[in-house]
């Protein structure tokens, strides 16, 4: 197994800087997720690690070795792609055995390793079938088995679940977690699905415009987004934002927006805050009351959507819309007032100009 280190990695396509001087260390055995919107450079970074792209600057280390100019075959990596890329004319057994045969692994050793990989992916009973006789989920299992049978130091996965339907995705996600616990290969996993990122990653590197804007544990990325971009990209519905002016009075900070004052909890310090500020808070961290009380923020329900055990409310605070959720039996309807309480510890303040968290 091996750690991965990217140092000032740069990749340019014509005028597009796909990867912008990126620094990152991935620990031995870690499951790292690259997450970000389409075109942010996730796949390109992964392909650079794999050796499928020549870099325009920087260095790549796998283990103690620099591999920047080495071909893919000498990097100790295996890849799983979105398109399963299994060979249609080969049985499942031969698909899994393919890379081993290239390495001249034969006989009992070959059979044992194929059987072990198939067992891990729970496709041991399918070894005689051909890909056309498999479901999408089974094909993707074959593709994963074909990668892990090589016992790679590093496993690279590019949106491996995105061709599967929702239920299968859920199942395979749990499978990949289990698999990683068992084989502990250093894994880099590309996705634009935040739920996948939150559930799979030891850490998530959130990318934007070829850069990593935050790299941290799922809990930290979710609870303490480094910027407005991260807060709005993670979470469904995403984090709420309120723009306002920060004022200080009676030893307390208040955000003023369109004539409404939102007192910030005592003890919340903003250092030397900028004048224009963005308050970020996740929907689940806003309490909703049916009656007014001191320090609650008045708002009006614009839309009430039933979503299973919850009701998702779109409420207005002055000119700004927020999403909050209440239990489905909460007695409220569109056009009615409600009062909001922001959980103090969950408030995230950002500089409105830069979007960066204070």
Q: Which residues bind ligand ATP (CB under 6 A)?
A: 13, 16, 18, 36, 38-44, 192
Structure tokens that stand for 307 in this block: 């979503």
Cβ-based nearer residue to ligand ATP, 55 or 123: 55
Cβ-based nearer residue to ligand ATP, 38 or 250: 38
Q: In the chain, where do the E strands start and end? A: 4-13, 16-26, 31-35, 57-62, 65-66, 77-80, 154-158, 186-191, 203-208, 211-216, 240-249, 252-257, 260-263, 276-281, 286-289, 297-307, 310-317, 320-327, 337-342, 348-351
Q: How far apart are CB 99 and ligand ATP at their closest, in Å?
A: 25
Distance CA 156, CA 80 (A): 6
Cβ-based nearer residue to ligand ATP, 169 or 348: 169
Q: How far apart are CB 40 and ligand ATP at their closest, in Å?
A: 4
In contact, 78 and 143? CB cutoff 8 Å: no
Q: How far apart are CB 11 and ligand ATP at their closest, in Å?
A: 8
Cβ-based nearer residue to ligand ATP, 81 or 339: 81
Burial 108-135 (b: 16+ CB within 10 A, else e): eebeebbebbbebbebeebbeebbeebe
Q: How far apart are CB 158 and ligand ATP at their closest, in Å?
A: 8
Cβ-based nearer residue to ligand ATP, 201 or 318: 201
């Amino acid at each position: 197994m091996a750690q991965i280190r990217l140092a000032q990695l740069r990749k340019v396509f014509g005028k597009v800087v796909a990867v912008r001087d990126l620094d990152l260390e991935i620990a031995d055995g870690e499951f790292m997720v690259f997450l970000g919107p389409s075109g942010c450079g996730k796949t390109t970074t992964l392909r650079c690690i794999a050796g499928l792209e020549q870099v325009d600057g920087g260095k790549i280390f796998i283990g103690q070795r620099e591999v920047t100019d080495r071909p893919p075959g000498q990097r100790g990596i295996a890849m799983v792609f979105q398109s399963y890329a299994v060979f249609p004319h080969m049985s499942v057994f031969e698909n899994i055995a393919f890379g081993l045969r290239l390495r001249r692994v034969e006989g009992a050793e070959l059979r044992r390793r194929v059987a072990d990989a198939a067992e891990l992916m729970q496709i041991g009973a399918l070894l005689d079938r051909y890909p056309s006789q498999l479901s999408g989920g089974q094909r993707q299992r074959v593709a994963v088995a074909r990668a892990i049978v090589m016992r790679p130091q590093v496993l690279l996965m590019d949106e491996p679940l995105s061709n599967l339907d929702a239920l299968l995705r859920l199942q395979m996600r749990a499978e990949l977690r289990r698999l990683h616990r068992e084989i502990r290969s250093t894994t880099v996993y590309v996705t634009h699905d935040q739920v996948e990122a939150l559930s799979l990653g030891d850490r998530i590197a959130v990318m934007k415009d070829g850069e990593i804007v935050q790299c941290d544990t799922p809990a930290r990325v979710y609870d303490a987004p480094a910027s407005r971009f991260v807060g709005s990209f993670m979470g469904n519905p995403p984090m709420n934002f309120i723009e306002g002016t920060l004022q200080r009075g009676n030893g307390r900070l208040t955000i003023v927006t369109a004539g409404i004052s939102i007192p910030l909890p005592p003890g919340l310090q903003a250092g030397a805050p900028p004048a224009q500020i963005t308050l970020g808070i996740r929907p689940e961290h806003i309490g909703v009351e049916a009656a007014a009380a001191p320090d609650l923020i008045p708002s009006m329900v614009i839309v009430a959507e039933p979503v299973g055990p919850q009701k998702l409310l779109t409420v207005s605070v002055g000119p700004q819309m927020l999403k909050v959720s209440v239990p489905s039996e909460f007695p409220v309807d569109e056009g009615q007032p409600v009062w909001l309480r922001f959980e103090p510890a969950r408030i995230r303040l950002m500089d409105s100009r830069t979007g960066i968290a204070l």
